[in-house]
Chains A and B, each alone.
Chain A
Amino acid sequence: GQSLEQPSEVTAVEGAIVQINCTYQTSGFYGLSWYQQHDGGAPTFLSYNALDGLEETGRFSSFLSRSDSYGYLLLQELQMKDSASYFCAVEDRDDKIIFGKGTRLHILP
């Protein structure tokens, strides 16, 4: 079967750094992406990794290790507005995009 595992909830303090992990088991793999969704809003695209390594986009970075079927999203200098759910997603060999169940990020002042 296909699955993506990520923690259901993570709590961090404003100004700190937090890492959200994602492990995947899919039939084929073309890339790992991350999406952010605020309550009542639509998921919005954050980042995409097709190759091993770290991709940085402002305060957000995403890492991929294809050999470990593992990736993470790193959020730095946390702000209250970063409180949201974060989803990892994998494109499998059939070109389907499979999403994880999401990680709820709580930020404390």
Chain B
Amino acid sequence: KAGVTQTPRYLIKTRGQQVTLSCSPISGHRSVSWYQQTPGQGLQFLFEYFSETQRNKGNFPGRFSGRQFSNSRSEMNVSTLELGDSALYLCASSLKADNYGYTFGSGTRLTVV
């Protein structure tokens, strides 16, 4: 079966711009979570969606937002980009929102210049 697909794989933006990242979960998976990964900080939780509803949100500013569509595909948006937003953004899907068997996508590498 197809894995978790994230697009684009790489992105370069300038400060002040906004960006939208996309995640297509494994077919049948209804839970999608987003993480920001930077060197030395590990994976930091952004938010989690289940059946189009945001169930949880991490400690990130309001510039970070997301949504989930009826087909479980999810997007996250970052507005007014800052240099510190440069990171690998990972999406993970699971059948339900539990700790067992998260499947991650390969991520989107965002560079803000």
Contacts and interface: CB of A to CB of B under 8 A. Distances in A.
Q: Do A and B come from one complex?
A: yes
What is the interface residue range for chain A against chain B?
A: 20 to 34
Given A42-B104, A96-B48, A102-B42, A89 B56 contact: no
Nearest to B48: A96
B48 A42 contact: no
B7 to A, nearest CB: 14
A44 interface: yes
Interface string A29-62: 0111101000001111100101000000000000
Given A42-B104, A99-B42, A91 B98 contact: yes
Given A31-B99, A43-B90, A91-B98, A97 B104 contact: no
A33 B99 contact: yes
Nearest to A100: B42
Interface string B37-75: 000111111001000000110100000000000000000
Contacts, number: 68
| A-side interface mostly | strand
B45 A43 contact: no
B104 to A, nearest CB: 4
A74 interface: no
Contact of B58 (A42, A43, A89, A96): A96
Interface in B71-113: 90, 92, 97-107
A42 B106 contact: yes
A105 interface: no
B45 A45 contact: no
A106 interface: no
14 contacts: A31-B100, A32-B99, A33-B99, A41-B106, A42-B90, A42-B106, A43-B43, A45-B101, A91-B98, A95-B48, A95-B56, A99-B42, A99-B45, A101-B40
